[in-house]
Amino acid sequence: MADDLSPLQCLECRRDARPDSRSVASGLPRYRGDRGRTVVRRRDLRPSPSLCGRRRQKSDPHEPSDHALGRSRGGFSTKIHLLCDGQGHPLAFHLTAGQAHESTALAPLLERAEEDFIDSCGPPLAWPMRLAGDKAYRADWIDELLESLGITPVIPSKSSERNRRAAGFDPAQYRRRNLIERVIGWLKECRRVFARFEKTALNYAGMLKLAIIQRYLKLIIA
């Protein structure tokens, strides 16, 4: 070898190298560490799941326990209860599980719309004269609720009913219910609304609000 360098480094002559032995190659003392410190690893205490990615679970009081998800004939789904005006403008919506009946969401749906209709400093800014719905909303208590609010119900009777209800039915006004069907059809064109990707109902409601805002922006610009 050039310059009389050895191709191999020298090894200790003794087989039981002591802690105070020196490195022949570098001439530096070996690292002994802090003998006064005791290192206790987590796996030495008890077996448990990894702490990586673990965080405190956050819960919102407005989040339903079922996350507005349930089983229905169409599978695992969410039902959107929507309310619009006579021009097809969305006013309010309410989310429930897919198997929930439509009549159970009418009261919270009207309460959310009432916040937009009524001004806290004065009389109502707007108030509907009629409310149209399909046969799923046919119930005596719904007729009484709407009439107490000064709203005429436009809901057809079920074919299985023996006694027709006292409230009148206007077929011409009921045909205008296609407005809400068109609004729902437009919402289904939005992929994040048609196919729900969000786990929580609040996040899914946020996507639905963005779709409605986009709808209003198109109406304003047009």
Task: Write the CATH number for 193.
Answer: 3.30.420
Determine, yes or no, domain membership for 89. Answer: yes
CB atoms within 10 A of CB 185: 10
Strand partners, 95: 80
Q: How confident is the model at residue 170 (pLDDT cuts 50, 70, 90)?
A: confident
Q: How confident is the model at residue 167 (pLDDT cuts 50, 70, 90)?
A: low
Per-residue pLDDT for 119 more than 90?
no
Determine, yes or no, domain membership for 160. Answer: yes
Res 14: pLDDT:
59
Determine, yes or no, domain membership for 140. Answer: yes
Determine, yes or no, domain membership for 215. Answer: yes
Determine, yes or no, domain membership for 65. Answer: no
Which helix (H) or strand (E) segment holds residue 83: the answer is strand 75-84
Determine, yes or no, domain membership for 180. Answer: yes
201-221 vs 178-187: helix crossing angle, rounded to 10: 110
> Whole-angstrom Cα distance, residue 186 to residue 212?
10
pLDDT tens figures, 76-96: 889 999 999 888 889 899 999
Res 221: pLDDT:
86
Res 219: pLDDT:
84
Q: How confident is the model at residue 61 (pLDDT cuts 50, 70, 90)?
A: confident
Domain with 194, as residue range(s), is 70-221
* Long-range contacts at 207-216 (CB < 8 A, ≥ 24 apart): 208/80, 208/93, 208/95, 211/187, 212/90, 212/93, 214/190, 215/90, 215/186, 216/89
Determine, yes or no, domain membership for 57. Answer: no
> Whole-angstrom Cα distance, residue 136 to residue 102?
6
Mean pLDDT of the chain: 78
Per-residue pLDDT for 60 more than 80?
no
The gap from C-alpha 160 to its chain's centroid, in whole angstroms, comes to 37
Q: How confident is the model at residue 16 (pLDDT cuts 50, 70, 90)?
A: low
Res 93: pLDDT:
93
Determine, yes or no, domain membership for 136. Answer: yes
Q: Is the CB of residue 12 less than 8 Å from the CB of residue 24?
A: yes
Percent of the chain with pLDDT over 90: 24
Number of domains the chain is built from: 1
Q: What is the pTM of this model?
A: 0.66
- The DSSP line for 96-153 is EETTS-GGGGHHHHHHHHHHHHB-TTSSBS---SEEE--GGG--HHHHHHHHHTT-EE
Percent of the chain with pLDDT over 70: 66
